[in-house]
Amino acid sequence: MAEGGRHLRPEEDNEPVRPVRRPVSQDQVRRPARQQPRQPEPQPRRARPAEPVSRPVRRQPEPQPRRERPRQVAVEPPASRPRRRRGIRRQNIPLIILMVVLVGGILFAGGQIAGIILDYHRDRTAYDQLAQEAISSMAEPDATARPDVTPDAAGQTPAPVRSEVPIAVDWDLLREKNSDIVGWLYDPAGMSYPVMQTTDNSYYLHRGWDKQPNTAGSLFADTVATAGVLHSNFLIYGHNMKDGSMFAGIMKYVDQSYYDQHPTMYYLTPWQNYRVELIAAHIVESTLDNFPNYFADDGEYQTYLNTITSRSFFRTNAQVSTQYQLITLSTCDYSSGYTDPRFLVHGMLVPIQ
């Protein structure tokens, strides 16, 4: 059944009646009034006192200067060095090789020099020990004459010159040590060595008196030389050692003043002792003509004596005569202008009683 002419649905019969809202116009809408800001309430004004109250003046602290913060300067990082490669650079290899060669050369040369010095010391020691055992000073001469002494042209043997022999030699001891020892050469200036002789002139070039290897070698007589034979040249060879040993000392006879101080030597044998009166010193080439062993007669012998004295570095005060046998000391020389030079010192073998 409809209410007020409005038909109702059956399910709406029991629902309450809802009021109908009429549309309101925009003008009828009441806008809320704008709220004005709230004004503060006026405060009561304080009355100013008639006299100011004296109060201590509070001093204000003086303003401190403002510390400026130090500027932080941007420090550039150091340039990074290129990293070195470990190992040997190629350009350094030649330098390293050169240094190794130089060091090796120095070590090698030092070893050679040390070896030479040791050899010299060993050689000197060997001869010094022999001299201490076999040589004594101021002994009586051996009066036994050698039987193969050749008389002179008149058929008479020159009379020995009486003189004191400066040293005595123990020949028995030397024969036990080495039977090749045939004599002893003594120079008061400091030379004192045994003289060897064999059938080979090269045997004692690099062997000592004990036949052992020796840098200085030995003094040795020529294979055909015989002391006491007239019209012959008694040749003795020896090395010119740089340490002053062997025949190095005879090189001093280039000086006249040295000869004046040392005009004589001594050559001693088991059969006869001789004073060597020096007559000449000169340099020659190593040829057979300059090393004669025998002379045919007095004329040839005298000619040779005249030749060597005319070439001598010093002028002798000794008697140059064919009645005495010639002795020649020969050693190496290093003078320029010669192919194979030898330094020779000549003397007269004057028998000592």
Mean pLDDT split into 10-residue runs, the chain, 353 residues: 49 54 58 62 64 62 69 64 61 79 80 63 80 76 43 54 76 95 95 96 94 92 94 96 92 96 96 95 94 95 96 94 96 86 96 85
pLDDT at residue 20, as a whole number: 58
Instruction: Name the pTM for this structure.
Output: 0.64
pLDDT tens digit sequence for 218-258: 999 999 999 999 999 999 999 999 888 999 999 999 999 99
On the 0-12 / 13-18 / 19+ scale of CB atoms within 10 A, 1 is: exposed
With residue 331 as reference, give the H or E element that holds it. strand 325-332
pLDDT at residue 84, as a whole number: 59
Helix, coil or strand: residue 60? coil
CATH class in words for 110-352: mainly beta
Q: How far apart are CA 198 and CA 135, in angstroms?
A: 23
Structure tokens at 35: 């709220």
Residue 22 has, within 13 A of its CA and on its CB side, a CA count of 4
Pairing of strands 233-237, 325-332: parallel
pLDDT at residue 92, as a whole number: 77
Determine contact, residues 169/184, Cβ cutoff 8 Å. yes
pLDDT at residue 26, as a whole number: 56
pLDDT at residue 147, as a whole number: 41
pLDDT at residue 149, as a whole number: 46
pLDDT at residue 146, as a whole number: 42
